[in-house]
Amino acid sequence: MALRLGDLAPNFTADTTEGQLDFHEYLGDGWGILFSHPADYTPVCTTELGAVAKLKEEFAKRNTKVLALSVDGIESHKGWISDINETQNTSVNFPIIGDEDKKVSELYDMIHPNSNESFTVRSVFVIGNDKKIKLIITYPASTGRNFDELLRVIDSLQLTANYSVATPANWKQGEDVVVSPAIKTEDIPAKFPKGHKVIKPYLRMTPQPDL
Ligand code: BEZ
């Protein structure tokens, strides 16, 4: 059965470029991002893994561990990492699963046979600190991901997990947020003392509450 938002992220053990790991232990009590790429020594994937390595500190600030996967083996990954470091001017600093037996790819439904019979597509799973799946996005092999967007989404997920708010279209850190429809307008001042605007009875905005 396909995984859906709110499902417990299935646990697994896997061989990675940094040794064997247990997924849930690796996440600890923080957040995580698990993402697949189609194959080693391919151009778009090379730029993607370089981009993620450069953003590792940004993920760490959000208490989010990074874990990549492809169906190539560990030795292949290790050789390719040298190329990524050289060409992307970085140092890959997170584990990459060598999923040759496709155990994890199948568990997370990362192979879409009508797209490609054997390669993983560009799946992204964001896992919350309760080990539940908070976000699923799937891109085709031909489109490299925007990892700044993934940081933005994690900001939204973490904010909305802690406050009764939602984030509007194109929201970024520091911008006003939407008060959850579950909050009555008369209860807003007590919950959101920074102020609020009632644009419509169903559209109430307030400054980002955690700043
Ligand atoms: C790439 O990473 O460049 C790529 C991988 C598989 C198919 C197309 C592009």
Q: Is 115 in the pocket of ligand 1 (CB under 6 A)?
A: no
Q: Looking at ligand 1, which atom is closest to the CA of residue 144?
A: 2
Report CA(152)–ligand 1 centroid distance (Å): 25
Tens of pLDDT, residue by residue over 182-193, are 999 999 999 999
- CA 66 to CA 17: how far, in whole Å? 13
* Ligand 1 in reach of 50 Cβ (< 6 A): no
Dist CA 43 CA 46 (whole Å): 5
Is the pLDDT confidence value at 1 over 90? no
Candidate list 14, 45, 92, 157, residue with the active-site label: 45
CA 181 to ligand 1 center in whole angstroms: 42
Q: How far is CA 162 from CA 31, 35, 36, 183, in A?
A: 14, 25, 29, 14
Q: Is 45 a catalytic residue?
A: yes
pLDDT at position 141 is: 95
Residue 158 host element (H or E)? helix 147-162
The model's pTM is: 0.96
